Amino acid sequence: MSYLLKLCQNVAHRYLVVRGLNNYYLSCCVNTLLQTLNATWELADILEKWEDAGLGAVGENVPFQLKGVLKAMRENCPQPAPHKDFLHCLDRNCIRLQTQHDADEVFLSILDLMQRQMDDRALALEIQSLYKISVETQLQCLECNAVQTQNSHLLSLPLHIREDQNSLEDCMNSFFQQQELKGINCCLCAQCETRTPSRQGVKVRSLPRILCIQLKRFRNYHGRTLKLDCKVSFPETFDFSEIHKEAFSTDFTQNDCRYTLYAVVVHSGTATFGHYTAYVRHKVTNCWHYADDSHVSQSSWEGVQKTYEGGYSGTAYMLMYRRDGEQQDISG
């Protein structure tokens, strides 16, 4: 046993453990997302500031129930954390029990429900800002060179993957590479007043504290959804500014673009029948843990790397990175 693993075990006895969650009604997808949300301590800190005063039907209020679950998951107890009320709350908000879900879709739905159901708008926007990637879409007409721009935002970065081998850098370069739109894909040019060939690209206006990345492993082939188990490697730390030199808009002003991985959503199985688990980094010890519903065990970066491609342990589907400089002191 390595010295680092022994140190993790010794320190973990003195601090909070990573609590598991029982699998109820095919809840592995939600269980896995709760592990990543619990590892995002900034979210729990914001919810703790929310007084949730004057709420009516608390059984239908996602942020209220989520606040309770995250608080229970932080308690130093060997038993799985209670979360049935949260599962039933999601069911009342159309995230149905006894149904297999897509983790990225459920993640975005939970964020959307928090925005709509929190009565403190300032705190609701603070939660959104944790994940908000502000982008600028540019559309240049290839006939007259006129450029149209539109500002919007994403809460997760959807990256397409090739059917052989990929790296996170490859996927990001592809995302930010300009695409030519011709033929039936021609867009309306306001200056030419007709549909013309154009060039489209996306540039980043600002980066969030928490960068959520979805590796789009599911494809539609002739009406069937299939999963790509091909290799996608990703680093434990990276500098976004070095991924793609032309990925930033002219008004981008952030200096620190370095990120460190702290959670990975893992999918095993096929597109129609699968199971979700998670790797999460402990807030205090900084060690990796593997959460498979109620079973939680210590792991390592080498364990996380096994999710690069298909196999018994599954493939990485969502990556959660935290911007460097946001890490809290280990004694705090």
Residues 46, 289, 110, 175, CA torsion sign: positive
CB 319 within 8 A of CB 234: yes
- How many helices and strands in the chain, by DSSP H and E? 9, 18
Q: Where are the alpha helices (DSSP H) in 24-166?
A: 28-39, 41-49, 62-73, 84-92, 103-117, 121-131
The CA distance from 61 to 289, in Å, is 30
pLDDT of residue 328: 45
- Domain assignment present for residue 332? The answer is no
Q: Tell me, yes or no, if the pTM score tops 0.85.
A: yes
pLDDT at 164: 86
331 lies in some domain: no
Quick check: 5 and 282 in contact, CB under 8 A?
no
What the block records as the tokens of 220 is: 């539609």
61 is a domain residue: yes
pLDDT value of residue 10: 52
Residues 6+ apart with CB under 8 A from 9: 298
- pLDDT at residue 271, as a whole number: 87
CATH number, position 151 = 3.90.70.10
HEC secondary structure over 140-198: EECCCCCEEEEEEEECCEEEECCCCEEEHHHHHHHHHCCEEECHHHCEEECCCCEEECE
Residue 302 lies in domain: 3-323
Report the distance separating Cα 261 and Cα 238, nearest Å.
Answer: 9
- Give the amino acid at 131: Y
Which residues are paired to 188 by β-bridges?
195
Q: Which residue has the tokens 């997808």?
A: 29
Quick check: 15 and 285 in contact, CB under 8 A?
A: yes
* Digitized pLDDT (tens) for each residue of the chain, 332 residues in all: 565 555 555 544 444 579 999 999 999 999 999 999 999 999 999 999 998 766 667 889 999 999 999 999 999 898 999 999 999 999 999 999 999 999 999 999 999 999 999 999 999 999 999 999 999 999 999 999 999 999 999 999 999 998 888 999 999 999 999 999 999 999 999 899 899 999 999 999 999 999 999 999 998 888 888 899 899 999 999 999 998 778 999 999 888 899 999 999 999 998 888 999 999 999 999 999 999 999 999 999 999 999 998 766 699 999 999 999 755 433 33
- AA identity, residue 140: Q
Whether 287 maps to a domain, the answer reads yes
Domains of the chain: total: 1
Flag whether 329 is in a domain.
Answer: no
Query: Of the candidates 304, 324, 327, 323, which has an alpha carbon nearest to the alpha carbon of residue 314?
Result: 304
